[in-house]
Structure 1
Amino acid sequence: MSAEEARGTAGKLRAVCGELAERFYERDDVVRTLVVTLLAGRHSLVLGPPGTAKSELARELTGRIDGAAYWEILLSKFTAPTRMFGPIDVAALARGEYRQVYEGRATTAHIAFIDEIFKCSTAALNETLGYLNERIYHPENGGAPVHCPLIGAITASNELPEAADAAAIYDRLLVRIEVGYLADPANFAALVRSAVSRPPAPARTTVELDALRHAVTEAVPTVDVPDAIVDAVCTLRAALRRKELVASDRRWRQAVGLLQASAYLDGRAAVAETDLSVLTHVLWDSPADRPTVEREVLHLVNPDAKEALDLADTIEDLEAQLDAMAGQSREALSDWVIKNAHGKLARAGNRLARLRDEAVVAGRSTAAIDRVTGRQRAVRTRILTEALGVDASMVPAKP
Structure 2
Amino acid sequence: MTEINTDQTFPAEPGAVPTAADAELIAAAVRAAGRGLLGRESVAEVVVLCAVAGEHLLVVGAPGTAKSEAVRRMAGQLGGRYFEYLLGRFTEPNELFGPVDLRGLREGRVEYETEGMLPEAEIAFLDEVFLGSTAVLNTLLGLLNERVFRRGRTVLASPLRICVGAANHLPQDPALAAFADRFLARVFVEPVADSRLEELLEAGRRPAVPAPRDGGPGLLAAVDRLAAAARACDLDEATPLVATALRRLRAAGVPISDRRAVRSQKLVAAAAVLDGRTVASARDLWVLPLVAPTADAQALARDVLADLVEKSANGSLVHAAEELSRSTAARAERLAHAGAALLAEHRDLPEGAGLTAAAGGRPAGDRRGLRPGCPARRAGRDTRRAGRGGLALVTPEQSSVPAPRTAPASPPPPAGPPGPSSRQAFALRWERREPPLPSVAVLALGAAVPGLALAARERIRAGARLAVLADDGPGLPAAERSLLVLGAEADLPWADGVRYLAQDEGLLTPTTARPAPAAALWRRALGAAEGQLCVLVPGRALIADPPVPLGSAEVLDPYTVSTGTGPDGGADGTP
The offset of 1:28, in angstroms, is: 3.0
Q: Is 1-10 or 30-39 further displaced after alignment?
A: 1-10
Are residue 114 (structure 1) and residue 126 (structure 2) matched? Answer: yes
Specify the code of the residue in structure 2 equivalent to 1:147. A
- Summarize the Cα distance change of 1:338–1:87 in structure 2 as closer, same or farther, 3 Å threshold: farther
RMSD (CA atoms): 3.7
Matching residue of 1:231? 240
* Correspondent of 2:161 among 151, 166, 185: 151
Partner deviation per Cα, 1:43-85 (whole Å, 9 max, x = no partner) = 000110011111111111111223x111111111111112111
Inter-partner Cα distance in structure 1 for 2:64 and 2:209: 24
For the pair 1:43 / 2:51, whether they are aligned, the reply is no
Does the 8 Å CA contact 1:263/1:272 hold for their aligned counterparts? yes
For residues 5 and 138 of structure 1, do their structure 2 counterparts lie closer, same or farther at Cα, with a shift above 3 Å needed?
closer
Tell me how far 1:242 sits from its aligned partner: 2.1
Q: Distance in 2 between matches of 1:199 and 1:257?
A: 34
Q: Residue in 1 aligned with 2:295?
A: 287
Query: Is residue 230–residue 278 contact of structure 2 (8 Å, CA) maintained in 1?
Result: no
Aligned to 1:170: 180
Letter in 1 for 2:258: D
TM normalised by structure 1 equals 0.75
Q: CA deviation at 1:7?
A: 2.7
Amino acid at match of 1:11: E
Indicate if the aligned counterparts of 2:88 and 2:132 stay in contact, CA closer than 8 A: yes
**What is the one-letter code of the residue matched to 1:224?**
D
**Unaligned 5+ residue runs, structure 1?**
323-329, 359-375, 382-399
Partner of 1:215: 226
**Greater strand content:** 2
Residue identity matched to 1:87: P
| Structure with more of its chain in helix, by fraction | 1
Deviation string 1:190-224 (CA, Å, 9 cap, x unpaired) is 221233356999xxxx94333322332x2221222
Q: Is 1:256–2:268 an aligned residue pair?
A: no
Indicate the SS of the match to 2:508.
helix
Letter in 1 for 2:297: D
How far did 1:145 drift?
2.1
Task: For 1:121, give the aligned amino acid.
Answer: S
> Are the structure 2 counterparts of residues 332 and 298 from structure 1 closer, same or farther at C-alpha, using a change threshold of 3 Å?
closer
For these two proteins, the number of residue pairs brought into alignment is 343
Structure number with greater Rg is 2
How far 1:106 sits from its partner (Å)?
Answer: 0.8
**Paired residue secondary structure (1:301):** coil
State the match for 2:20 in structure 1. 7
Q: Which amino acid aligns with 1:289?
A: A
Shift of 1:121: 0.7
User: Corresponding residue for 2:142?
Assistant: 130
Instruction: Give the distance between the partners of 1:355 and 1:200, measured in 2 at CA.
Output: 26
Q: Indicate the residue corresponding to 1:265 in structure 2.
A: 274
Q: Does the Cα contact within 8 Å between 2:18 and 2:229 map onto a contact in 1?
A: no
1:236–1:207 Cα change, 3 Å: same
Displacement after TM superposition at 1:110 (Å): 0.9
Tell me the equivalent position of 2:200.
191
Q: Which residue identity lines up with residue 302 of structure 2 in the other structure? A: E
Cα distance in 1 between the residues matched to 2:205 and 2:515: 31
Residues 34 and 70 in structure 2, CA contact (< 8 A), matched pair in contact too = no
Q: Contact 2:40 / 2:66 at 8 angstroms: preserved in 1?
A: no
Q: Which residue of the other structure, out of 501, 510, 530, is the alignment partner of 1:344?
A: 501
Query: Aligned partners of 1:342 and 1:62: how far apart in 2?
Result: 42
1:58 corresponding residue in structure 2: 71
Is the CA contact 1:33–1:278 (under 8 Å) kept in the aligned structure 2? no
> How far does the alpha carbon of each residue in 1:319-371 deviate from its partner, in whole angstroms, 9 at most, with x for none?
xxx9xxxxxxx94588558567346267235996799679xxxxxxxxxxxxx
Residue 18 of structure 1, CA deviation: 1.8
1:215 aligned partner, one-letter code: L
Q: Please say if residues 125 and 163 of structure 2, whose CA atoms lie closer than 8 Å, have aligned partners that are also in contact.
A: yes
**Alignment correspondent of 2:326:** 305
Q: Tell me the CA shift for residue 265 of structure 1.
A: 0.8
| 1:224 to 1:353, Cα distance in 2 relative to 1, 3 A | farther
Q: Greater CA deviation, 158-167 or 114-123?
A: 158-167
Match of 2:307, SS state, is: helix
Instruction: Tell me the secondary structure at the aligned position of residue 46 of structure 1.
Output: strand
1: CA distance, partners of 2:306 / 2:16: 32
1:88 to 100, 105, 124: 100
Task: Note the C-alpha offset of 1:290.
Answer: 1.8
TM score, norm. by length of structure 2: 0.53
Quick check: 1:31 aligned with 2:44? yes
Query: Secondary structure of 1:10's match?
Result: helix
Structure 2 residue ranges without an equivalent (≥5): 1-12, 211-216, 312-324, 329-432, 453-481, 486-497, 521-534, 540-575
Q: 1:166-209 deviations in whole A, cap 9, x for unaligned? A: 222111100000111112623x21221233356999xxxx9433
Q: Do the aligned partners of residues 215 and 5 (structure 1) sit closer, same or farther apart at CA in structure 2, a change above 3 Å counting?
A: closer
- Structure 1 CA distance, aligned partners of 2:233 and 2:519? 29
Separation in structure 1 between the aligned mates of residue 128 and residue 438 of structure 2, nearest angstrom: 32
Distance 1:89 1:33, change over 3 A: same
Change (3 A) 1:295 1:251: same
> Deviations 1:128-152 (Å, cap 9, x if unpaired)?
101111112222xx31522211111
Q: Which amino acid aligns with 1:195?
A: G
State the distance in 1 between where 2:277 and 2:255 align: 30
RCO higher in structure (CA 8 A, sep ≥6):
1
Alignment partners' CA distance in 1, 2:206 and 2:70: 20
Report % sequence identity: 29
Question: What amino acid is the match of 2:284?
Answer: D
Distance 1:224 1:184, change over 3 A: farther
How far did 1:298 drift?
Answer: 2.6
The alignment partner of 1:347 has SS state of strand
Q: Report how far residue 310 of structure 1 moved.
A: 5.9
Structure 1 residues 87, 185: closer, same or farther in 2, change over 3 A? same
Are the aligned partners of 2:16 and 2:225 in contact in 1 as well (CA < 8 Å)? Answer: no
- Structure 2 distance, partners of 1:355, 1:193, is 18
